Amino acid sequence: MKTQLVGMIWAEAAEGVIGHEGGMPWHLPEDLAYFKKMTADCPVIMGRKTWESLPEQFRPLPKRTNVVISSDAGRAASLRSEGALTASSLKEAVDLAGQKAPKAHMTWIMGGGRIYAEAMEKDLADLASITRIDLQTAGDTYAPQLGEGWAGVVKVPEQGWKTAENGTRYRFETYRREGRP
């Protein structure tokens, strides 16, 4: 049962790169702060590899129901012992998030590449929040393409390019799946 809006949230460098060798190939505190603000008090859903990419002291992500997807029952038990809820499919994770945090206005899918791809394939997301990073970098994990049926939402002043303290240019973009309430 899907009761809440479901969003995907990611940060993306040139050519769609979102990850490399199990981590994110940049350090952008401004994006981490934006992620924290956007997902505050909402459940977050992630693949097992994204969970493992989080520094141990930050997982589960505080003040948010953390649902981690794994196909491995043994691994799922150890994830639960670390404080995550677990699901064996993305659909199950979305349902569980809705049940555990019924008052949240959104459920956020927070990666990684495999989970975003499945969310697109199964058309499970209503919204996409993308931090576009003006950076060429090596990667092995990619963002999905938001093609037909997705429309950009203009948010002023957040749509403009900003320059991070470390000099990296970035901007926040929001897209909605057309035809959804």
Ligand X SMILES: NC(=O)c1ccc[n+]([C@@H]2O[C@H](COP(=O)([O-])OP(=O)(O)OC[C@H]3O[C@@H](n4cnc5c(N)ncnc54)[C@H](OP(=O)(O)O)[C@@H]3O)[C@@H](O)[C@H]2O)c1
**From the list 7, 98, 112, 144, which residue makes contact with ligand X (rule: CB under 6 A)?**
112
**From the list 16, 32, 100, 114, which residue makes contact with ligand X (rule: CB under 6 A)?**
114
Given CA atoms 71, 77, 82, 87 in this order, what sign does their dihedral have? Answer: positive
70 binds ligand X (CB under 6 A): yes
- Is the Cβ of residue 23 or residue 83 nearer to ligand X in the bound state? 23
146 binds ligand X (CB under 6 A): no
Pair type for strands 169-177 and 162-163: antiparallel
CB of 24 vs ligand X, minimal distance in Å: 5
Q: What is the dihedral of CA 9, 60, 68, 176, to 10 degrees?
A: -20
Amino acid at 145: Q
115 binds ligand X (CB under 6 A): yes
Residues in binding contact with ligand X, number by CB under 6 A: 29
**From the list 111, 120, 125, 146, which residue makes contact with ligand X (rule: CB under 6 A)?**
111
Cβ-count burial 30-51 (b if 16+ within 10 Å, e if not):
bbeebbeebbeebbbbbbbbbb
Q: Which stretch binds ligand X (CB under 6 A): 11-19, 37-45, 149-157, 163-171?
A: 11-19
